[in-house]
Amino acid sequence: MLQIFILMLLAISLSATNVDNNQSQVADINSSSIEVPAESNVVPIDVQPTDTNRTKEENTTSSQDTTLHINLNKTLKTDDNKSNSKKATTTLNILSNYDNATITGEMHTEENLTKAQDVNNTNAISPTTKLDDVSNLDIAKVKREQRKIARNQKSHEDGNTEDKDQLVDTIVVKGSVLQGRIDQLTSEYISFKLIYGIGSIRIDYADVESLNTEHEYHIYFDGKETLGTISEIKDHAFLKVKHGEVEELITISKIDRVIVSEREDDSVENQLRNMFPYWSGSVDVGLEYEAGNLEKRKAKLESHIERKRSEYKTIFDVAYAYESTKTVDTPNLLTKHELYSFLEQNYLFTTDDLLFAEIGYDFDEPRFVNNRLYPSVGYGYHLATDKSHWVQFKVGGGFVYEDFLSYDENSSASSNQYLAGLFAVDASYKFEDLMLVNSIVLGVHFFYMPGIRSLKENWLFRYSITGSIPISKILALKAVAKQVSDDNPSPDIGNNKLTFDLYLSLNF
């Protein structure tokens, strides 16, 4: 304001000077004689008419008057410009000194304003902001800052840590701003639980435009782990995780598991997840009891456990079944007592290629199999679009050892052993958006170990088809059809066995 005021005074001063100079020029021209300054090149002329040769002299005088007027104006304007230039220079020097004295304060003011802007480079909402200029993301960010201020105030008043009930994660999907908490984050998708609804929604990374969390998460990736909040998603392929003042960029495809920290969720389930972050699987339980003329006791237990860390993957499968039957006329009869177990270790040396080493052990007393042990090694190829749609082929070789029980009075315990090849196929496919149920996961397992020398006498052959219908995040209804065809010693029992079971499956 001071600069503008000084400039106005300078303009008024220059205008007044020009008016005085013009009036002086008119007065000098009308006078009978004109004095020209010494530095001027114009010769003074006495303008007086004569009586002789009037016409010729008038013409000459008119021409001289014109020349005098032009030269005189030029001389006067040159002097005025010099004077005005001196005044303008003085004024500009004053203004320059003023600018030098205040420029430091103005720079500090601009710096403070820059720091006060929104950290995400969006327009800040103020009382003068137009409603049309405010997006849902702007509103979410302002609410986030308000919650942060409220938590800090409560922390100072109560002396407690942040209120975990007020923490909200924000995700932008195709322009829609959603708030809630990350329920599951894998290398293929995000499962997000909304604060204003029941259940979770699955979101593909290609649809995610922005992700910012207030909750703190344990992120396990590429054999490492980190703890912090997610501040940004970049190019649909990287997560920026902030812990303290440090930010770390994580490749999404290398993420093994993401779990909310124990500080924010101290439940037993979450503590176990943080204790065993690389483990996952399912436990299937089936029980049956029948009383009356026929008394039957039946129990079945199956479990599938996986541990995956970086390029190493361990798989353990076990299935146990027990069944006894008793009638009024017959004593207790053992009709089923069997165990099938399998341990496998994989090493993925590329995204699709792997080496494996595995060992199986089982027994089946009603079929007179006391022990059976069959280790094998080989190469596998894993083809997958995501964790729910994949197929895996394995080929290799192994060794089979069998110990048989005596199956009649004329037989005795015996054993058998042989070298064998190995061919196996495993696959999983998830059908979604069905009419009666939300989804069905179909699984297929095929296993074949033929003897190298005596193919007709020595072999192991099993296959199974599994259908699983999710009831909730951790519960599912599972149906399993299984065919077992192994070399057995008893001709009365035979080699084939088909079973169909229905389980309630607990996933973890």
pLDDT of residue 33: 41
Q: What is the pTM of this model?
A: 0.61
CB-CB contact of 117 with 124 (8 Å): yes
The C-alpha atoms of residue 130 and residue 132 are separated, in whole angstroms, by 5
CB-CB contact of 472 with 486 (8 Å): no
pLDDT of residue 385: 79
Contacts of 39 (CB under 8 A, 6+ apart): none
| Tokens 């494996």, located at residue | 356
> Pairing mode, if any, of strands 217-221 and 255-260?
antiparallel
The C-alpha atoms of residue 212 and residue 247 are separated, in whole angstroms, by 13
The C-alpha atoms of residue 303 and residue 237 are separated, in whole angstroms, by 34
Task: Reduce the DSSP state of residue 434 to 3 states and report it.
Answer: coil
pLDDT of residue 319: 94
The sign of the torsion formed by the CA atoms of 387, 390, 391, 396 equals: negative
Q: Quick one: fold of 279-507? A: Porin (2.40.160)
Q: How far is CA 198 from the centre of its chain?
A: 22
Number of other CB atoms surrounding residue 20 within 10 Å: 10
Task: Reduce the DSSP state of residue 420 to 3 states and report it.
Answer: strand
pLDDT of residue 321: 92
pLDDT of residue 227: 92
pLDDT of residue 8: 65
pLDDT of residue 7: 57
The C-alpha atoms of residue 201 and residue 183 are separated, in whole angstroms, by 9
Give 71-106 pLDDT, tens digit per residue.
434 444 445 555 555 555 655 555 555 445 444 444
Which residue positions in the chain have pLDDT lower than 70? 1-165, 292-293
Q: Specify the length of the chain in residues.
A: 508
**Boundaries of every domain in the chain:** 143-275, 279-507
pLDDT of residue 87: 55
